[in-house]
Structure 1
Amino acid sequence: MAVLTGWAVDDTGCRTPDKGTGVCVRLSECKTMIKFLKCKKMFSEKEKEALRSYRCGFYHNEPKVCCNDDPITLGWIVDTDQCRTPDGTDSVCVPLGDCKIMYNFIQANAVNDIIRQTLRKYRCDNTGSLKVCCPTKLPAVLIENRIRDHTQHPNAKLLPTDCGNSATDDKIVNGNVTNLFEFPWAAVLKYEKKINPWSCGASLISERYVLTAAHCIMSQNKLTTVRLGEHDFNTDPDCQESVKKICADPPQDFEISKEDAIVHPDYNPTTFQNDIALIRLPKPANTSVYSVSPVCLPLTEAEKSLTYDDYTVIGWGATETGFASRILLKVRVPQVENAICASKYADKVQLTDNQMCAGGKNEQDSCAGDSGGPLTNEYILNGSFKTIQYGIVSLGPKICGKEDFPAIYTRVDKYVGWILENMKP
């Protein structure tokens, strides 16, 4: 009995959407389809739908298409969403997220009035959806007026100006155990599972938002809680002896779900590209307490251009014993050039400029359970130290702290525009 799949019949004869005849083969074996895909870089939604109608099955994970020797033109589509850019170039009308050249520009740069007016000229759909007539190169007016200083973004006011303050000067040199109040922006995520439910990190960036990794949100386990102000899971309250005994306020727990999270739309769980997400808390965090306050983000060009030999990463992840720590730990990790780091992951992921590497020092690294946590460094602002977040723990070797094998972090400075665009009061 023949099995019908779309236009196809078996793995031999099939009929193409334009009523031609062909053979159902793997996509990589269809020369006419491969040639068409290479020649045409952008497709409208209707064209994408038309191309999907060539599909006639799968070979493992690879799609099969109805293929013949006739050139593919898609001329049989009645409406192809064709449009013309303001400079008179023919293009296609696509959702803004599908127009990578525009989307990446907006993500990396502050959107001022000149840029906003220019983008409006590329709108090509008045139905309410945000579609643009996608150019093949950035308009000169955007390049000339690009502003990397995100303090000018309308939503920059949602971020605190008083950030990155550590409430202790008594820091352990070359130590791994953190002091009480040393990292008041540290957040931890809880999942609906019996073993180690607190298994991802995050950072508080405002009274309503925490920043974490996309893969922490897309976990198969149900996300239930964001906790702020935790230091040691074994004690309640958390206290520390110094000149006198001081104790922290109780941790703040926020019931949360995946619906409260905003995952980067281009997150790729296979390559870990765009491994970043925001979580909106159901109510403002109490940042007036001694142990909870936000970390700074790199908003200005000067803050983004700062480079360091090493960084601090924190978390409750697995230790050298193989078990998750009950107390917040810190470690200083050296920065590693992407070119060197890429060779370690060559068979797994392709590094981009949106990622950075650090670690690879024997038994000192981020580890399982630190995912989503912040990679930070201090800088001096108006004579005082502030802490700025440069990375998010994303991916690392199975064996933590392996010599000459650094971990991969999402670069926060590349996503400040995306973060601001997705925040609301």
Structure 2
Amino acid sequence: MTLQHMHDIDSHKDAYVSCRKHGRTAKSDDGKIVGGYNATIQQFPYQVYLIVQKGNDYYACGGSILSSRFILTAAHCLTGVSRVYIRTGSTNSGSGGNVYSTTLYTQHPQYNARTSDYDVAVVKLLQAMTLDGSNARAIKLPPSNTNIPAGTQIVVSGWGTTQENGQTSSTLMAVRVPTVATSECEKAYNSAITSRMFCAGVPEGGRDSCQGDSGGPAVSKDSGLQLGIVSFGRGCAQAGYPGVYTNVSSVRTFIKLQTGI
């Protein structure tokens, strides 16, 4: 698949954005983080842009580079998908960098679409991606069962929308938010936040991941390790409703089995 072919897919997709409580997958052109700042791929070279094909529809998600042959993303991004297109090494979701295509992916066998538990998946490429170290490089992951204290600063990047059901942009964005206590998050959602999840956000809202950011990386500001994967939330950036992320350290066995990493 050429760069022009992927650009054509971007240009002809519907402008409709699907916002679901469980999942932040966008059926849209491009988009960006809520309440964030403009970023470049050199700042987040592990970030990739995914277009997933479901029948005749195309949806946008994020992902992160684990190695030249593996991408980490959310399981909910890949349900019913026939093909995945991956753009690496570009600040712009619609042009530049390198584009790859694959039909190979594995969702966590215990993924629960209703609760979003075990919301993790690995995409495999038969053709090795070009990792130049500056525009495209692998992210490092934490060890199994790493503790994530409340108040840990994470940086989330992606091309998701700027507000719930809002405007879109092709430019990479990022936002920094602190993690919040699991008990606080459970009260907000009135449901269980499992050990495969953690929450992050500010009480007043206004800063969050949103539609189109699903599957993208949430990285520790201090360690540079990918602690989370964008999973779901009540709308986007709503006061009192932090975003929910898959806890990477709790699914390390699955990732190791799939990738050797």
Shorter chain as normaliser: what TM range? 0.7 to 0.9
Greater percentage in helix: 1
Partner of 2:19: none
Secondary structure (helix, strand or coil) at the match of 2:256 reads helix
Partner of 1:216: 77
CA distance in 2, matches of 1:269, 1:317: 21
RMSD, aligned α-carbons: 2.5
The one-character-per-residue Cα deviations of 1:11-48 (angstroms, maximum 9, x if unpaired) are xxxxxxxxxxxxxxxxxxxxxxxxxxxxxxxxxxxxxx
CA distance in 2, matches of 1:394, 1:358: 11
State the shift of 1:195 in Å: 11
Judge conservation of contact 1:311–1:332 (CA < 8 Å) in 2.
yes
CA distance in 1, matches of 2:228, 2:61: 15
After the TM superposition, which residues 19-418 of structure 1 pair with which residues of structure 2 at under 5 Å, given as runs? Answer: 176-192=37-53, 197=58, 199-218=60-79, 220=80, 222-233=82-93, 236=95, 250-257=96-103, 260-288=104-132, 290-299=134-143, 304-305=146-147, 307=149, 308-320=151-163, 322-346=166-190, 349-360=191-202, 361-379=204-222, 387-398=224-235, 400-418=236-254
Letter in 2 for 1:187: V
TM-score after normalising by structure 2: 0.78
Change over 3 Å in CA distance of 1:196–1:289 after alignment to 2? farther
Letter in 1 for 2:228: G
Judge conservation of contact 2:144–2:249 (CA < 8 Å) in 1.
no
CA distance in 2, matches of 1:335, 1:305: 12
Letter in 1 for 2:62: G
State the shift of 1:281 in Å: 1.3
State the shift of 1:208 in Å: 1.2
State the shift of 1:312 in Å: 0.7
Change over 3 Å in CA distance of 1:177–1:197 after alignment to 2? farther
Partner of 2:32: none
Change over 3 Å in CA distance of 1:364–1:195 after alignment to 2? farther
Letter in 1 for 2:47: A
Letter in 1 for 2:248: V
Judge conservation of contact 1:196–1:324 (CA < 8 Å) in 2.
no
CA distance in 2, matches of 1:212, 1:411: 12
CA distance in 2, matches of 1:225, 1:205: 16
State the shift of 1:372 in Å: 0.4
Partner of 1:421: 257
The one-character-per-residue Cα deviations of 1:265-313 (angstroms, maximum 9, x if unpaired) are 0000001010000111122111126300011101377xx2464532111
Secondary structure (helix, strand or coil) at the match of 2:106 reads strand
State the shift of 1:180 in Å: 4.2
Judge conservation of contact 2:152–2:220 (CA < 8 Å) in 1.
no
Judge conservation of contact 2:52–2:78 (CA < 8 Å) in 1.
no
Q: Give aligned-pair identity as a percent.
A: 30
Secondary structure (helix, strand or coil) at the match of 2:224 reads strand
Change over 3 Å in CA distance of 1:372–1:180 after alignment to 2? closer
Judge conservation of contact 1:375–1:392 (CA < 8 Å) in 2.
yes
Secondary structure (helix, strand or coil) at the match of 1:224 reads strand
Secondary structure (helix, strand or coil) at the match of 1:418 reads helix
CA distance in 1, matches of 2:186, 2:129: 39
CA distance in 1, matches of 2:137, 2:237: 29
Change over 3 Å in CA distance of 1:357–1:420 after alignment to 2? same
TM-score after normalising by structure 1: 0.49
- The alignment of Structure 1 onto Structure 2 pairs a total of residues equal to 224
CA distance in 2, matches of 1:180, 1:279: 20
CA distance in 1, matches of 2:53, 2:144: 39
Greater radius of gyration (CA): 1
Judge conservation of contact 1:208–1:285 (CA < 8 Å) in 2.
yes
